[in-house]
């Protein structure tokens, strides 16, 4: 299976996307959980996928495209 095919089907949880304040572990984006959820609610960030009542994920490809758009806007 090609690497590209795997990446398009990968899912991220909010803890993978943002930085962890307690452990200091970096996430994909240097934002807090509340900022991420505010962006999602405002329609700025990609829409989540609800897998179950306690599990919300985002497609990795969507989050990476969003991060790229943020980087381009900052230039």
Give 19-32 pLDDT, tens digit per residue. 777 777 788 898 88
Across the range 3-15, mean pLDDT stands at 71
* Predicted local distance difference test score (pLDDT) of residue 8: 57
- Assess whether pLDDT exceeds 50 at residue 1: no
Cα–Cα dist 30/19, whole Å: 6
What single-letter DSSP state applies at residue 48?
P
The alpha helices in 1-75, defined as continuous H runs, are: 3-8, 14-17, 33-42, 60-74
The closest alpha carbon to 17, from 54, 51, 56, 52, belongs to: 56
CA angle 10, 51, 22 (to 5 degrees): 70
Read off the pLDDT of residues 29-75 as tens digits, 9 standing for 90 and up. Answer: 988 899 999 999 999 999 999 999 999 999 999 999 999 999 888 77
């Amino acid at each position: 299976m090609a690497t590209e095919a795997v990446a398009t089907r990968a899912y991220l949880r909010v803890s993978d996307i943002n930085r962890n304040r307690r452990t200091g572990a970096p996430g994909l984006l240097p934002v807090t959980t509340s900022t991420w959820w505010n962006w999602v609610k405002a329609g700025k960030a990609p829409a989540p996928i609800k897998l179950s009542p306690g599990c919300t994920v985002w497609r990795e490809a969507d989050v990476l495209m969003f991060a790229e758009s943020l980087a381009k806007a900052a230039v």
